[in-house]
Amino acid sequence: MKRTRPTISTGTGDSGQTSLFCGGRVSKTDPQVAATGDCDELSTALGLAKAHCTHPARKEHIKAIQLDLITLMADISLNRYSEESQDFCIKPDRIEWLESLGKCIEDALPPLKDWDLPGADLESAALHMARTICRRCERSCLLVPEPHRASQTALLYLNRLSDLLFLLARSTSLPQL
């Protein structure tokens, strides 16, 4: 019987190497690849939160973050020697959006008086899981040596995103958010 593989399987990674977004091949254990994988995991955790989401606006916020993460993964996996690398970086206006949304949510929440334990509901638990993955993603990005490290804007985005995810997790108990 002839063995075939799915068309998405190129076989080029069978030797333990993979391609970077703008060219070049590196080991699958390379810090850039690990950071990109952590970002992909973050997007998947957000997908779980979105699947459990009960509020249309919050669902749209999560979707917007997932779309930002596609750009962020390109930023992380860039070959920094490439001229095209600046075309695929996350833009500062996305950080401003995170901060603005975070401020709106924080203003609507009651003051935090105790530790917010994950697990109030499925959506909140998934958002807290995404928050912890986001923090790991940020650490992974910082482990990538210069000059291959993600842009400073990407690192700022991840830092602000973990704060926003905490606020989004707390907001699941509010009907208007």
pLDDT digits (tens, 9 = 90+) for 76-123: 877 655 556 566 788 999 999 999 999 999 999 988 887 776 777 899
Q: Is the confidence at residue 48, as pLDDT, over 90? A: yes
Q: What pLDDT is stored for residue 11 in this prediction?
A: 61
Written as six digits, the tokens of 46 are: 């957000």
Residue 94 lies in domain: 27-104+119-171
The dihedral built from the CA positions of residue 146, 142, 64 and 108, taken in this order, carries a sign that is negative
CATH code at 37? Answer: 1.20.1200.10
Q: Which of 114-118, 131-135, 169-173 has the highest mean pLDDT?
A: 131-135
In a domain, 66, yes or no: yes
In a domain, 21, yes or no: no
User: How many domains are there within the chain?
Assistant: 1
Averaged pLDDT for residues 51-61 = 94
Q: Smallest Cα–Cα separation from 146: which of 91, 78, 90, 70?
A: 78
Report pTM: 0.85
Q: Which residue has the higher pLDDT, 17 or 45?
A: 45
